[in-house]
Amino acid sequence: MANRKYLHDWFAFACLTLIVLLVAPGPAQAVEIQKVTSPGGIEAWLVEDHTVPIVALNFSFTGGSAQDPDGKEGLTRLLAATLDEGAGELDSEAFQGRMEELAVSIGFSTGKDRFYGSLRSLTPSLDEAVDLLALAVNSPRFDEAPLERMKAQLVTRAKRNESDPNAIAGRSLASAMFGDHPYSRPTLGTVESLEALTAADLAGQHKRLLTRNGLTVGVVGAINAEALAEILDEVFLTLPADGELVSIAELEPSYGDQISDELAVPQSTILVGLPGLKRNDPDYQAAFVMNHILGGGTFTSWLYQEVREKRGLSYSTGTSLSPYARTGLLIGSAATKAERANETVSIILDQLQRMATEGPTEEELRAAKQFLTGSYALRFDSSGKIARQLVGLQNADLGIDYFERRNSEIEAVTLEDVQRVAKRLLADKTRQ
pLDDT, tens digit, 9 for 90 and up, residues 215-248:
999 999 999 999 999 999 999 999 999 999 999 9
Whether 429 shows a pLDDT value over 90: the answer reads no
126 phi and psi, to 5 degrees? -65, -45
CA-to-CA distance for 390 and 82, rounded, in angstroms? 25
Confidence class of residue 30 from pLDDT cuts 50, 70 and 90?
low
Q: Which of the two residues, 16 and 52, has the higher pLDDT score?
A: 52
CATH assignment, 34-236: 3.30.830.10
pLDDT tens digits along 47-83: 999 999 999 999 999 999 999 999 999 999 999 999 9
pLDDT of amino acid 50: 96
Q: Across-strand partners of 114?
A: 62
The closest alpha carbon to 19, from 296, 341, 429, 339, belongs to 341
Instruction: Answer yes or no: is pLDDT of 115 > 50.
Output: yes
pLDDT surpasses 50 at 116: yes
Query: Are 16-26+253-426 and 34-236 the same fold in CATH?
Result: yes
CA-based nearest residue to 24, from 423, 426, 431, 432: 426
Give the pLDDT confidence score for residue 29 in this predicted structure.
Answer: 53
User: What CATH number labels 16-26+253-426?
Assistant: 3.30.830.10
What confidence score (pLDDT) does residue 207 get? 97
**Has residue 297 got a pLDDT over 90?**
no
Residue 291: pLDDT band (50, 70, 90) is very high
Going by the DSSP 8-state scheme, the letter that residue 5 receives in this structure is B
H or E element at residue 97: helix 92-102
353-375 pLDDT, tens per residue?
A: 999 999 999 999 999 999 999 99
- The confidence band for 431, taking pLDDT boundaries of 50, 70 and 90, is low
Longest dimension (CA), the chain: 66
**Per-residue pLDDT for 211 more than 80?**
yes
Taking residues 311-320, report their average pLDDT.
94
| pLDDT class of 256 with cuts at 50, 70, 90 | confident
Is 24's pLDDT higher than 80?
Answer: no
**How far is 417 from 29, CA to CA, in rounded Å?**
26
Strands laid side by side in the 34-37 sheet: 34-37, 43-48, 216-221, 54-62, 114-122, 105-110
- pLDDT at residue 186 tops 70: yes
Could you report the per-residue pLDDT of 144-170, keeping only the tens digit for each?
Answer: 999 999 999 999 999 999 999 999 999
Whether 3 shows a pLDDT value over 60: the answer reads no
Higher per-residue pLDDT: 24 or 300: 300
Give yes or no for residue 326 having a pLDDT over 60. yes
Residue 345: closest CA among 274, 259, 271: 271
Domain ranges of the chain: 16-26+253-426, 34-236
pLDDT for residue 6 is more than 60: no
